[in-house]
Structure 1
Amino acid sequence: MSHLRHLSVWVDQPDPGHFFWVLHESAENASVWVDIESSEQSFPSWTDAFEAGAVALFQLAPDERSGPRAPGEDEDAAPVG
């Protein structure tokens, strides 16, 4: 099975009363995070935006038992060579 993706959800407030969720993913360097998705519409509160962002985060995991996985090699596969 491939490794879990390092994801986070956070809320941005560019203007008073306008909250947007943002999904981040850690790059190879754990100190670097990249925006991968964000809400197109604003929400009236931080809580509303965060909850909607959490839903978007859960949608990145096709199987809720194993979580969001990175594409690539299967970690459980037998070594080659």
Structure 2
Amino acid sequence: MSRLRRIAVFVEEVEPGHFHWVLHEQGDDASEWVELSASPMAYDLWLDAFEDGCAELKRMVRDENIGPRSPGEDEDAPPVGPLADTD
């Protein structure tokens, strides 16, 4: 199975009382965070921004049982390479 992506929901207050949700994903370096998306509009309440950011993250997930996964090998695909040709 591919690895679980490390995605965080942040809320930023760009001006007093104007909140935006932002989704960040951890990069190859653990100290690097890359912005994936951000709310196009400001929210009056921090909680509304946070809840909509969480909803956006949930929309990114194909299977709620395993969460957001990195693109990776398909475990159901037939094997390839020299070891696969053992007929």
Superposed pair shares fold, TM > 0.5: yes
In structure 2, the partner of 1:66 is 66
State the identity %.
49
Q: Which runs of 5+ in 2 are unaligned?
A: none
User: Of the two, which has the highest radius of gyration?
Assistant: 2
1:3–1:75 contact (8 Å) kept in structure 2? no
Q: Which runs of 5+ in 1 are unaligned?
A: none
- 1:35-55 superposed Cα distances (whole Å, 9 cap, x missing partner): 100000111111010000000
Provide TM-score, normalisation by structure 2: 0.82
In structure 2, the partner of 1:33 is 33
Query: Which amino acid letter does the alignment assign opposite residue 58 of structure 2?
Result: F
Provide TM-score, normalisation by structure 1: 0.88
The count of residues paired between Structure 1 and Structure 2 equals 81
Q: 1:38 to 1:73 in 2, by over 3 A?
A: same
